[in-house]
Amino acid sequence: MRMLKHLYATTLMLTLSLGLLLPAAQARELPEFTRLVEAYGPAVVNISTKQKKSVHGALPKGLQIPDLPKGGPWDELFRHFFGEGEGGDKMPEHEARSLGSGFIIDEAGYILTNNHVVEGAEEVIVRLSDRRELVAEVVGTDPRSDIALLRVQAADLPVVRLGRSRDLKVAEWVMAIGSPFGFDHSVSVGVVSALGRSLPSENYVPFIQTDVAINPGNSGGPLFNLDGEVVGINSQIYSRTGGFMGLSFAIPIDVAMDVVAQLKETGHVSRGWLGVLIQDVTRELAESFGMSKPAGALVAKVQDDSPAGKAGIRVGDVIIEFNGETVHYSSDLPPLVGRVRAGSDAKVKVLRDGKTRTIKVRIGELPVEDEMVQASGEPKKIEADRLGLVVSGLSAEQRKQLEVAEGGALVAQVKPGAAAEAGIQGGDVIVKLNNRDVADAADFRRQVAELPAGRSVPVLVLRRGGPLFLALRVPAD
């Protein structure tokens, strides 16, 4: 009996000891950021700019300036943008200030930040953690990646350590330092939520998505890993309120440093160019192309005199691999092409007519901008076909307006039916049906009559100057 009591007491003591030790062990496993902040926080800077702007100060009807402290920076900002209240008149030119963050990347005084922080600035002022204020030179900017390279002249500058964003893993701990709402050297932490994110207006940056709290003023600040290395530049947030909602995006440092190297060398950034307009492959399109699942980038247009055109890439090809890297989504392709230097050769694997082939392409240099002309015309109407379409030929003037060199049938009306369900709209120009060119309206009607009943077929249309593939399910007869 005494042995049993002794055994029970020993077991109870061990249980209590383990219970006390377990929370301590778990606590020790949590990341420690204090040393990182102490070591590399001084290399993070506050950036303000001065620029002249002419502002139309009119709040939308029914809205008023929020109740902000008089004379504060945000009160001044609202009144500069919106005047004194509802229906304000145009404000005179004034000196605007923007706030952002940045970080010093070397002892020569080079600083990285976002392009949108310094865009249009007449003067850029950098404030260090030791309260020094320095006027910075804008070495170069790259709006496509939203990166700006600055330089200051000063001694004893603290610098960050640069890491490799390609080594990041989802769920890895990361830390941001910046000046949200002007509060210098604010620290926020979180994890990597996703990698290689594509945003609607940013085709050449595979963003790092995190849940680190980012707000206005954090732009341009560094994103650190647990080794104290900068792995990204905090750039954007997704928000319906203007404030942080759990989704923030950072430019990978690998992308940024490639931009830095080019800005230092030439003052501008050159990117690779393939010369195709692409779209995602949907489930319906995958079925129409005979693919087992949606994947790759569907070529909707090959631009004239482009590297893709010269190499033999065709409309309707599905690009599934570029230089050995798999293209899962159409958004994967632009960053892969963009980081290839102009004049280099690349291998592009495409799916064509159910078979794969590899095409060698000499990559060109991305043009500054591509403009599309939007136009519409009133065609002569004819009867609807089995798809519910009313189509006609195109006049010479319509071809000029719509940039259709030859072929095509103009959609005059879409009635309920297969075409409407596929998303075809009035004003579209149908240029391919089931992978066959459409010569004119009569040819289109002949092809429609020959379509296999009950199957999905791809149709290529030109809409407002841009090409678009749609999957059309032919009605059963």
Q: How far apart are CA 108 and CA 157, in angstroms?
A: 8
- Other C-beta atoms closer than 10 Å to the C-beta of 162 total 19
Q: What does residue 381 show for φ and ψ, rounded to 5 degrees?
A: -85, 145
Residue with tokens 């909707």: 300
Per the annotation, the verdict on 211 as an active-site residue is no
Q: How far apart are CA 226 and CA 209, in angstroms?
A: 17
Provide the β-strand partners of residue 207.
197
| Residue among 276, 273, 267, 312 nearest 297 (CA) | 276
Q: What is the DSSP letter of 130?
A: T
Q: How far apart are CA 111 and CA 260, in angstroms?
A: 10
Per the annotation, the verdict on 185 as an active-site residue is no
Distance of CA 373 to the CA centre of its chain: 24
Distance of CA 75 to the CA centre of its chain: 32
Distance of CA 37 to the CA centre of its chain: 29
Sign of the CA dihedral with 376 first, then 378, 382, and 384 last: positive
Residues 49 and 121: beta-carbon distance below 8 Å: yes
Q: How far apart are CA 321 and CA 213, in angstroms?
A: 35
Tokens encoding 211: 């849940």
Catalytic residue, candidates 48, 101, 116, 288: 116
Per the annotation, the verdict on 6 as an active-site residue is no
| Residue among 411, 453, 459, 457 nearest 431 (CA) | 459
Catalytic residue, candidates 48, 145, 219, 306: 219
Give the three-class secondary structure for 81: helix
Tokens encoding 287: 């079925």
Q: How far apart are CA 263 and CA 269, in angstroms?
A: 6
Catalytic residue, candidates 146, 254, 385, 428: 146
Helices and strands, counts by H and E, the chain: 11, 27
First to last CA, the chain: 90
Residues 211 and 246: beta-carbon distance below 8 Å: yes
Active site residue ranges:
116, 146, 219
